[in-house]
Structure 1
């Protein structure tokens, strides 16, 4: 398979996938190195493909994601698991985390967490990598973009985060 054909096949595979796909999985599927896949995705993105890199792999976000809302939270690193679980337990997905950096402005990290399993995998990767959350840069203050099935689910998320004492409200 030629490189251009492989890139189109990768793009189609990502379009059809309902979950993020890692570079390693794509490399195995197309019998190339992980680095070749990273390069292919970079070229696809440069040509306009809307591919996001998440902690679990590459994804093309679908246009219909339900009700999209943002919440502001504040907690230390120890509150991260409770916060994320409170969201997914209400049937919503955590699409990203956003912080305001004094030098770089808005920094966004795609997350795509929809279940306790996803949250557990994310936290395990953080621990294994010795990575600190982006919110450490801002004294714990951060935003999350959420995808919820409806207003009721979003209100339940707000209530759950308020009960945890992490919802930042005016």
Structure 2
């Protein structure tokens, strides 16, 4: 986008909301920046301003998402305690998503900061591959490395049976902390 087509202030934030509303998948800060003709840092600031106005925007590992109220059946949730090495992360996540379950987040207990939570929002093997590849290419550590591999996940599914199947898959592979 050229300098004369650069979106300004409230107009840009309205456009961001529209793009997120109409997107079927998360949009990265880079994509939003390109569309608006601004830097990614400007988008980060805009997202903060929109969140301060109670816009339901979630930052995920795949990008920004607008949380839409849907009249669908309420999803079931379960928190599971897991432990594994960083090298086992892909397999752990695949054990979950292969059961039709979404991994909402990862939570670790830090001795100074308390609970640290990061949204993951992976629902299939493609999402898992993107998440793991992003960790690997950025050389970012997994949060679970702060706690010798121990962490919690909030799992979401349409049915308790799917949550049970994911739990059993994790247990079979030795990832559940009991």
Q: How does 1:20-35 map to 2 (within 5 A)?
A: 20-35=26-41
Describe how 1:26-105 pairs up with structure 2 within 5 A. 26-63=32-69, 66-105=75-114
CA distance in 1, matches of 2:165, 2:86: 23
Q: What SS class does the counterpart of residue 38 from structure 2 fall into? A: coil
Q: Distance in 2 between matches of 1:13 and 1:68?
A: 29
Which residue of structure 1 aligns with residue 168 of structure 2? Answer: 159
Give the count of matched residue pairs.
Answer: 169
What is the root-mean-square deviation in Å for CA atoms of aligned residues? 1.6
Cα deviations across residues 133-169 of structure 1 (Å, max 9, x unaligned)?
1011112111111111201111110110011001122
Q: 1:63 to 1:102 in 2, by over 3 A?
A: farther
Stretches of structure 1 that go unaligned for 5 or more consecutive residues are: none
User: Mean alpha-carbon deviation: is it higher for 57-66 or for 71-80?
Assistant: 57-66
Shift of 1:119: 0.6
The structure that has the greater radius of gyration is 2
Does 2:15 match 1:19? no
Q: Which residue of 2 aligns with 1:140?
A: 149
Aligned-residue offset at 1:19: 1.8
1:13-58 deviation digits (Å, cap 9, x = unpaired) = 2233332110111122222222221221121122222322222111
TM-score (norm 2): 0.88
Residue 123 of structure 2 corresponds to: 114
Q: Post-superposition shift, 1:5?
A: 1.8
C-alpha displacement at 1:129, in angstroms? 1.1
TM-score by length of 1: 0.92
Give 3-state SS (helix, strand or coil) of 1:168's partner: coil
Structure 2 stretches lacking a partner, 5+ long: 1-6
